Amino acid sequence: MNLRCEPPPIYFAHLPRTGGTALRDWLRTAYGPRQLLDLRARECPSLDTREAQSRKYYHAWHLGRGPWDRLEQPDLLGLTLLRDPLERAVSEIRNVQRRALSHGLRFTTEFLARLKPVIHGSIEDCLRAGVFDDLISNAQSRVLGSRRDWTIGADSPHVTAVHPLNSVAWSDYPWLATPGNAAVSVSLEDLKRAAKSWLVSLACVGVTERWTDFATLLADHLGIAPPLASQPNHGPTAPNITNRAIGADRVDGELSDWAVGRLRELNDADLELYDQARERFAEQWQRFQGKPRQTPRVAAQIRQGLQPWREVQRRLRNHRRYWPLRTYFLADYPRWFGTRQGWQVILKTLLRQSGEVRIESPQAQVPVSLRLRSSDFFVYGQVLVEREYELPLCREPETIIDAGANIGLASIHFAQRYPRARILAIEPEPSTFDLMRRNVAPFPQVVPIHAALWDHVTTLNLFGSTRGSAAVRTREANPSATGKHDLGSVPTVTIPQLLREHGFAQVDLLKIDIEGAERTVFDRAESWIDRVGAIMIETHDRFEPGCTLAFAAATTDFPVAWREGEHLVAARHDLVRELPASVRNLPTEPGAAFRPEET
């Protein structure tokens, strides 16, 4: 559906390395978040005419011609030039490999399961495995224009012998002679001439080494104050920034000689266009110097003047001294615990640095103990108030393992929700385990176990915060590796061991929150994964890269999977027959959850 609205009559070409994020932040400060609209791939389908008309600035992140067509106006701000399909393919594959290890929750579990065999493979390995077909074929290429013969040969069972790296490029570029007609062959010289003609038509051209001057020129066009701080300038002659030949050399042996040659050819063409952009900007700057300057709007000046104070405010909010007050929602305590008891907890939190507080919990219906100025209150809100472990199970589970039970709040929730279930609550940190044991004492079906979940029986060292943090982690015991944050050692248990010792034929529900140890547990899950009905896990790729990847690969046979807040859920049909209604419309294609961050 096309939109009809009037964007501001400004053109802007955002060339690589000109500070796109800094540009967006500056304009957001000047216009205010309600008037600046970031147009990214995920926002475009839901954009309607009324919303578009309410904004005064459109910042397009590498979306090519598509937003122009949607708005039916050629005045949309923000476009990237100078990037080609081959370079995009190489950088995107590397980017996905890295992010799959460190930010696995950005991907679907199906895609991660397919990716795992080639997570450390070469570009050729990835292409032949067909893992990146969806991402590459829909990549937004940055090039003068795309030609159908810009392909990499990939003998893959998922694609044809010659796989086009960018199937949508013809509709992406406003300078193409025949947009949308992929059958027409256009020479590189024709594309260069069309690109230069389009560049000349722009009212404001951004170039890398003149970012500050460009921002001044753009501010005058828009009637706003220029940015307070300049950005570092990186010229295109720096080989580690824009020279594609250098980038191709880094993957020597992973791309054919033909592909490397194409990269060098495109690099030369882009540098030629960049010279044209320099000339165009010099002309614009000269005209700008000779005309009266506009007076920035008062509202924009006020917003920009307040920006340094907002930065101070942000730093104060993040300061450790105010951390307990900022993070754990003191204002919510009267609602959670009742007015009288809630204010008592607030006063104790403000006046005491440590200690415990015993609460007659309306949610738990039994007294629970929480540590002041700790993550216990945050966990309480998540588990017992927001009930984040509530799952749409089609039958009541009989056996539950709560690995990473913390102070026992999740086990209390399970015991109340499924009173006939037998629950094993596993917690490695001694003081937290002691508190958990006291909290679950009213529930005889909950068995506290002081151990750490692992893939084999051994002894692990504990390390992390000593102030009631929920993020105590484990690592292989090493007498020589000690530090001030070491919290002692703990024995381990395995899933097969728990099943055997407690007489479980299977685990109906496995809840896991073990701060990075899940990678080790799921890397070797073949012996027990078939005996699990449903898994709810919080992965910690930030602690141990590859946690989400290992979980996805181990649960490929689970027919139902979705994301629930911070957790990933995988289940078999005897426990969950279909996705919850709240997530039925989420993308399910491999890789569909991946949205690369633009810089």
- CA dist., res. 542 & res. 523, Å (int): 17
| pLDDT at residue 141, rounded to an integer | 37
pLDDT category at 262 given cuts 50, 70, 90 is low
Spatial strand order in the sheet of 422-427: 446-450, 422-427, 399-403, 507-512, 532-537, 567-571, 560-564
Q: CA dist 441 to 272, 372, 387, 438, 513, Å?
A: 75, 21, 21, 5, 21
The topology (CATH level 3) of 389-583 is Rossmann fold (3.40.50)
Tell whether the model's pLDDT for residue 66 goes beyond 90: no
What integer pLDDT is reported at residue 292 of this predicted model? 74
pLDDT for the residue numbered 442: 94
Mean pLDDT of 467-486: 60
Confidence at 213, pLDDT banded by 50, 70, 90: confident
- Residue 494: its pLDDT value, please? 95
pLDDT at position 543 over 80: yes
Residue bearing the bigger pLDDT, 454 or 1? 454
Most confident of 236-245, 327-336, 351-360, 495-504: 495-504
Which of 78-82, 274-278, 400-404, 466-470 tops mean pLDDT? 400-404
* Type of residue found at 503: G
Q: What is the pLDDT confidence band of residue 529, given thresholds at 50, 70 and 90?
A: very high
Residue 43 has what pLDDT? 53
Which residues are within 8 A (CB) of 506 and not within 5 positions of it... i.e. 6 or more apart?
A: 399, 499, 531, 532, 533
pLDDT over 80 (residue 65): no
Instruction: For residue range 419-442, list pLDDT tens digits in order.
Output: 999 999 999 999 999 999 999 999
What is the residue-averaged pLDDT of the chain?
Answer: 70
Residue 365, pLDDT score: 86
Q: How far are the Cα atoms of 77, 176, 198, 294, 392 from residue 146, in angstroms, in the given order? A: 22, 9, 16, 40, 48
When pLDDT is cut at 50, 70 and 90, the band that residue 478 belongs to is low
| pLDDT tens-digit readout, 385-396 | 889 899 888 899
Neighbours of 173 (CB within 10 A): 22
What is the rounded CA–CA span in Å between residue 235 and residue 214?
14
Q: How confident is the model at residue 82 (pLDDT cuts 50, 70, 90)?
A: very low
pLDDT band at 76 (very low <50, low <70, confident <90, very high): very low
Q: Which of 83, 236, 86 is nearest to 173 (CA)?
A: 83
pLDDT at 211: 77
pTM, two decimals, is 0.62
CB neighbours of residue 291 within 10 Å: 8
Indicate whether 158 pLDDT > 60: no
Strand (E) or helix (H) holding 487: strand 486-493
Handedness of CA 153, 183, 41, 63 (dihedral sign): positive
Q: Which residue has the higher pLDDT, 316 or 551?
A: 551
* Mean predicted confidence (pLDDT) in 260-289: 75
- Residue with the larger pLDDT of the pair 104 and 326: 104
Over range 507-529, report the average pLDDT. 93
Whether 346 shows a pLDDT value over 70: the answer reads yes
The residue that leads in pLDDT, 479 or 206, is: 206
Neighbours of 293 (CB within 10 A): 10
Of 179-183, 222-226, 309-313, 548-552, the range with the highest mean pLDDT is: 548-552
Q: Where are the domains of the chain?
A: 389-583
Smallest CA-to-CA distance from 35 within 57, 63, 20 is with: 57
When pLDDT is cut at 50, 70 and 90, the band that residue 190 belongs to is low
Tokens of 315: 């730093």
Could you read off the pLDDT of 112-127 as tens digits, one per residue?
Answer: 888 888 888 877 677 6
pLDDT band with cut points at 50, 70 and 90 for residue 46: low
Residue with tokens 């011609």: 65
pLDDT of residue 37: 65
Kindly state the percentage of the chain with pLDDT values over 90.
Answer: 20
Q: Residues 171, 65: contact at Cβ < 8 Å?
A: yes
In this prediction, residue 257 carries a pLDDT of: 65
> Once rounded to an integer, what is the mean pLDDT over residues 551-570?
87
